[in-house]
Amino acid sequence: MSSFDLDAFLPYRLSVTSNLVSRLFARRYAEEFGLTIAEWRVMAVVGADGTASAVAVRARTGMDKAKVSRAVAGLLARRLVKRVAHRGDRRVEPLALTPTGRATFDAIVPRARALEAELAAGLPPGQHAALEAALRFIATRAAALGAEPEGGPD
Amino acid sequence: MSSFDLDAFLPYRLSVTSNLVSRLFARRYAEEFGLTIAEWRVMAVVGADGTASAVAVRARTGMDKAKVSRAVAGLLARRLVKRVAHRGDRRVEPLALTPTGRATFDAIVPRARALEAELAAGLPPGQHAALEAALRFIATRAAALGAEPEGGPD
DNA sequence: GCAAATTGGTTTCAGATGAAACCAATGTCA
DNA sequence: TGACATTGGTTTCATCTGAAACCAATTTGC
């Protein structure tokens, strides 16, 4: 009867917490802005970088090709994002926020930050940063141990 | 151009890390034991508690009804788990590990622990515990803020 | 005692997902 | 230059997922 406490098992805790948080944000994004998480992530990268191709989005978010492609399609359809030509290489189709997209982005950012703050409210001071550092560490470690990001090597 | 650093955004970090880790473990469980994560979780609860109904599994893991049901079906088919009668209430069908199931469970536990240790290796001493505490805290907070667990209220 | 509500669990159905196939534009290197 | 490999991106297909419908056994309220 080798006992085992699932509750204290890191992968499990991670997954439960992540799912709960994802759900929470997914609902907010959907209700307030009509965006899926994937769409919001694309906007976040494009918004932050000013312009970004699907490859860039993929690199930064770890989302797989198909997912990015579908999210972009959704954003294009709602004109939150537009394609800009890439002189020189006609394969890449960089994206940029449209004015509407920029406005939406500017509206989301503070809401997202506020919800994040609510989540972390009550965490002892240094803990928030420590948590992020630990997560980053674990992620690096997991990648090193062979977990390929979504979509894999390609 | 309200800048926004997705990389330092908690929900995002959480999701990326969790996905990476899940993938890593999913592959291990699949390769070494032919189990999905959902199946392993059911076994973990049943193995830990000795006997557990689907409701118990659901309560402990946050998995939704359908997912539990499907995982259980898989385990039953491979005879890693069996149903035991619940005298008194014929709706509930508690589960228990079969001898094979127990053997498998006993084989997985140390492997899972070892992989977890590898993941956390290098984290400054107190950090592992701190990470789990922080995750637990955030999860509680997210639930309070309205994220229903998978499957929702029912 | 019995209709209505609840609970444990399975199944159905529509939508999401990832792997792999695919297409077009570039690079490579002989 | 011209095969061949690579790269950016979309689409297809089989699978997975969750919400809701469903079924059976219980419990509740009257």
Give the minimum alpha-carbon distance from A92 to chain B in angstroms, rounded to a whole number.
23
Residue that wins the pLDDT comparison between A70 and A152:
A70
User: Quick one: pLDDT band at residue A150, thresholds 50, 70, 90?
Assistant: low
For A34-67, the pLDDT digits (tens) are 999 999 999 999 999 999 999 999 999 989 999 9
- In angstroms, rounded to a whole number, what is the distance separating the alpha carbons of residues A50 and A131? 29
Average pLDDT over residues B122-136: 91
Q: Rounded CA gap, A87 and B59, in Å? A: 55
Give residue B124's pLDDT: 86
Predicted local confidence at residue B43, as pLDDT: 96
User: In the CATH scheme, what is the code of domain B6-112+123-144?
Assistant: 1.10.10.10
Cβ atoms within 10 Å of A77's Cβ, excluding its own: 9
Under an 8 A CB cutoff, do B11 and A17 touch? Answer: no
Using a pLDDT cut of 70, give the percent of chain B over it.
94
* Span B1-30, average pLDDT: 90
Using H for helix, E for strand and C for coil, what is the string for chain A? CCCCCHHHCHHHHHHHHHHHHHHHHHHHHHHHHCCCHHHHHHHHHHHHHCCECHHHHHHHHCCCHHHHHHHHHHHHHCCCEEECCCCCCCCCCCEEECHHHHHHHHHHHHHHHHHHHHHHCCCCCCHHHHHHHHHHHHHHHHHHCCCCCCCCCC
Residue A73 has pLDDT above 90, yes or no: yes
Write the single-letter amino acid at A20.
Answer: L
Per-residue pLDDT, averaged over A79-95, amounts to 93
For A6-112+124-144, CATH number? 1.10.10.10
* Residues in B 3-62 with any Cβ partner in A closer than 8 A: 3-25, 27, 37, 41, 44-45, 47-48, 50, 60-62
Within A 21-50, residues with CB less than 7 Å from strand C? 36, 38
Q: Does the pLDDT value for residue A19 go beyond 70? A: yes
- pLDDT tens for residues B60-117? 998 999 999 999 999 999 999 999 988 889 899 999 999 999 999 999 999 999 999 9
CA dist., res. B139 & res. B7, Å (int): 20
Reduced to 3 states, what is the DSSP secondary structure of residue B97?
strand
Is the pLDDT confidence value at A147 over 80?
no
d(CA B54, CA B60): 10
Residue A118 has pLDDT above 60, yes or no: yes
| Averaged pLDDT of chain A | 91
φ, ψ at B76 (rounded to 5°): -65, -45
Torsion on CA atoms A63, B63, B18, A70, rounded to nearest 10: 10
Contact B53, B60 (CB under 8 A): no
The neighbouring-strand residues paired with B81 are B97
Q: What is the dihedral of CA B102, B104, B105, B111, to 10 degrees?
A: 150
Residue A4 in this model has a pLDDT that exceeds 60: yes
pLDDT attached to residue A124: 86
Give domain limits for chain A: 6-112+124-144
How close, in Å, is residue A149 to chain B by CA atoms? 6
CB B145 within 8 A of CB A117: no
Q: Hey, is B95 helix, strand or coil?
A: strand
- Strand D–CB B153 distance below 7 A: no
